[in-house]
Amino acid sequence: MKLIDSIVREAPQIAALRRDMHAHPELSFEEVRTASLVATKLAEWGIPVNRGLGRTGVVGIVKNGSSSRAVGLRADMDALPMQELNTFEHASKHNGKMHACGHDGHVAMLLAASQYFAKHRNFDGTVYLIFQPAEEFGGGAREMIKDGLFERFPMEAVFGMHNWPGQRVGRFGVAPGLACASSNEFRILVCGRGGHAAQPHNAIDPVPVACEIVQALQTIISRNKRPIDPGVVSVTMIHAGEATNVMPDSCELRGTVRTFTLEALDLIEKRMQQVAEHVCAAHEATCEFEFIRGYPPTVNSAAEAEFARRVLASIVGEENVMLQDPGMGAEDFAYMLQAKPGAYCDIGNGDGSHRDVGHGSGPCMLHNPSYDFNDELIPLGATYWVRLAEAWLAKDRA
């Protein structure tokens, strides 16, 4: 790997900042401490700072030369509402909050690149350093755009990166086209008639109706949707009842739908409502159906994905830049890619062996209570950001 020596030397200090962020996680739109840490460091390094986009977002500006050309580099800052199982020193100090997706590491990699840019401006143009809030919940990218991100900071393209557990350190994934699926939520309230559990004939029990709906929803994926169109319907929450001898009046189902295309999403939403209403009607129950469309699919533009691939290959070699498989997870970087050309890549986070002490049981996977970002990625990810910006703003590309 062709890492930048000065970034490697500064990596332990940046890793300490990362661990501090991990110990003090903040949820979507609550990243006040994290944003202040980022802004303070950027200012300390002489980088002009803009705060408040998307409520808690931060944008740093690094200029050099006279060119009007510009590129954006984005990292997300928020944590998840879940309990950490790790017991090492930098484990979360806040119950019910955890950096279980590595956004602390994403911030650290962009900070390491920012520190280098402050000292070495080997480009002609502007690099915008975008520290985004609320990727997990709330669409922070969309909110930054609403607040004028691309008008106030005009850039030709924008790039994002996410760590990927299970992929070894030193490997990346990027490809043109689809990178992530759309993310959508649903709520189905099955309304029956409560009664004594010993007298089911005098009630309309919503629980078996809800169970039948759960099973029937999967036929949409297996029998209504085209097999070559990926789609997922997952019921993740079922709530009903308060006592073992009482049939409840209602049973609530909640979950998520993921697709790569709007056509598949339209079909699934329509059929879900039909299935829910007709299954309820068959049992003399009624239902309330709510479908909330969330993040759109994340789609890399072809030219920018190829550009990112070439930059990555120059750092880790062609054999270590994999063709990125699109996943059913979602990413609100999708909003930025709807507004600007760009590319979103994966950086391997390893197999979890970096968690040498104090981690809980289970794999080091995203959204897992035993997860921790691999600090070995900091100089590698930062080197990518630097080489990407330098190559994009090179005079021979003007």
Q: What is the CATH number of domain 5-181+296-397?
A: 3.40.630.10
Structure confidence at residue 205 as a pLDDT band (50, 70, 90): very high
pLDDT reported for residue 355: 81
Angstrom CA distances, 360 to 85, 93, 189, 369, stand at: 5, 16, 36, 7
pLDDT reported for residue 92: 98
Mean pLDDT of 150-157: 98
Closest alpha carbon to 366 in 114, 194, 163 = 163
Check pLDDT > 60 for residue 182: yes
Share of the chain above pLDDT 70, in %: 98
CATH code 3.30.70.360 for 184-293: yes
Mean pLDDT of the chain: 96
Structure confidence at residue 235 as a pLDDT band (50, 70, 90): very high
Check pLDDT > 80 for residue 357: no
Check pLDDT > 70 for residue 341: yes
Structure confidence at residue 362 as a pLDDT band (50, 70, 90): low
Q: What are the pLDDT digits (tens) for 293-325? A: 999 999 999 999 999 999 999 999 999 999 998
Check pLDDT > 70 for residue 275: yes
pLDDT reported for residue 363: 67
Mean pLDDT of 71-79: 98
Contact (CB, 8 A) for 161 and 308 = no
175 φ/ψ sector (left φ>0, alpha ψ -120 to 50, else beta): beta
Quote the CA–CA distance of 64 and 382 in Å, as a whole number: 19
In the chain, the N- to C-terminal Cα span, in Å, equals 28
pLDDT reported for residue 352: 86
Angstrom CA distances, 191 to 128, 174, 179, 214, 280, stand at: 52, 46, 39, 15, 8
Q: Decide if 5-181+296-397 and 184-293 have a common fold.
A: no
Mean pLDDT of 254-283: 97
* Mean pLDDT lowest among 63-67, 191-195, 280-284, 348-352: 348-352
Quote the CA–CA distance of 323 and 346 in Å, as a whole number: 10
Quote the CA–CA distance of 164 and 166 in Å, as a whole number: 6
Closest alpha carbon to 71 in 128, 144, 131, 150 = 128
Quote the CA–CA distance of 140 and 134 in Å, as a whole number: 4
pLDDT reported for residue 18: 98
Order of strands, edge to edge, in the sheet holding 250-259? 231-240, 250-259, 184-191, 286-293
pLDDT reported for residue 113: 98
Quote the CA–CA distance of 6 and 119 in Å, as a whole number: 10
Quote the CA–CA distance of 395 and 398 in Å, as a whole number: 5
Quickly list DSSP for 160-218.
Answer: EEEEETTSPTT-EEE-SEEEE---EEEEEEEE-B-EETT-GGGSB-HHHHHHHHHHHHH
Mean pLDDT of 368-389: 97
Mean pLDDT of 242-258: 98
Share of the chain above pLDDT 90, in %: 95
pLDDT reported for residue 359: 78
Q: What are the pLDDT digits (tens) for 6-15? A: 999 999 999 9
Mean pLDDT of 57-84: 97
For the chain, what are the domain ranges? 5-181+296-397, 184-293
pLDDT reported for residue 126: 98
pLDDT reported for residue 12: 98
